[in-house]
Amino acid sequence: MPEQPAKCSNCGSPLPEGARFCALCGTAVQDGDTVRTEVPPHETSPAPAVVEQAAPRWFGLAPPTVLLALAVVLLVAAIVLLATANWVVGLLLLGLALLFTAGFLEAGRRKPDAPIVKASVDAVDSAWARAGVTARTYATRSTARREISRRRAEAMRLASERDGLFRRLGQTVYSGGDATTERAAIEDLDTRIASLEQEANEIASHATERVDAARLEVQPTEVRPPGGD
């Protein structure tokens, strides 16, 4: 190893013993034994591209087509056994068929492995969504019908009471008495009847809006070209 110089070759500052760099300017004291070697050309050239395709991992779930086939086989066997009065085994196979059907739908939503799987899952999801809309529509209309019927029944009772007040008003006027009380009661009944009719109309309107909104959820999206009517 060469002897260390006493001063920096760049700025002339004194160097302490064992220093590798000048504390003032940072110049290296000695070149050292490090040898710089050029990297071989093949090391820097682009490496050949290797394309690998990862196989799907089902994490314990069979492919959807296998689950669908098993569900169909179990369903057919369950129907045959139930038709021949083998109730216990038939019901057991029917339960297994439903279980495999649920597994098929779940696996088909995650990773459909065939066009028939995707079509089947979409059809089931669409039918389920439409059934939900039908149930909500029925519940909405039934509730609205009950509320409207209750208000109209009350309006009819008030109208009957108003007819009685009209008769009393006629008798009072005919006898020359003061009909202020009857007129005020009739005016109050008219206001209450009109309020009930307005509430019934609002309930019907809101029910129609909820039904229309629910139907929009299952209607297919319509794509129109730009500028089309």
Residues in contact with 176: Cβ distance below 8 Å, sequence separation at least 6, in sequence order: none
Lowest mean pLDDT of 22-26, 29-33, 41-45, name the range.
41-45
* Number of residues that make up the chain: 229
Task: Give the pLDDT score at 49.
Answer: 57
Task: Give the pLDDT score at 166.
Answer: 87
Nearest to residue 59, comparing CAs of 102, 107, 101, 99?
107
Mean of pLDDT values over 24-49: 62
Residue 14's φ and ψ, nearest 5 degrees, are -65, 145
Determine whether 44 is exposed, middle or buried from the number of CB atoms within 10 Å of its CB (0-12, 13-18, 19+): exposed
CA pair distance 165, 182, nearest whole angstrom: 6
Cα 10 off chain centre by: 72
82-110 pLDDT, tens digit each: 899 889 999 999 999 988 888 888 888 88
Contact, 169 vs 186, CB < 8 A? yes
- pLDDT, the chain, mean: 81
190-201 pLDDT, tens digit each: 999 999 999 999
44-89 pLDDT, tens digit each: 555 555 666 655 554 556 788 888 888 889 999 999 998 998 899 9
Determine whether 228 is exposed, middle or buried from the number of CB atoms within 10 Å of its CB (0-12, 13-18, 19+): exposed
Higher pLDDT: 54 or 147? It is: 147
Lowest mean pLDDT of 16-25, 151-160, 204-213, name the range.
16-25
Helix, strand, coil tally for the chain in percent (to 5)? 65, 0, 35
**Cβ-based neighbour number of residue 103 at 10 Å:** 18
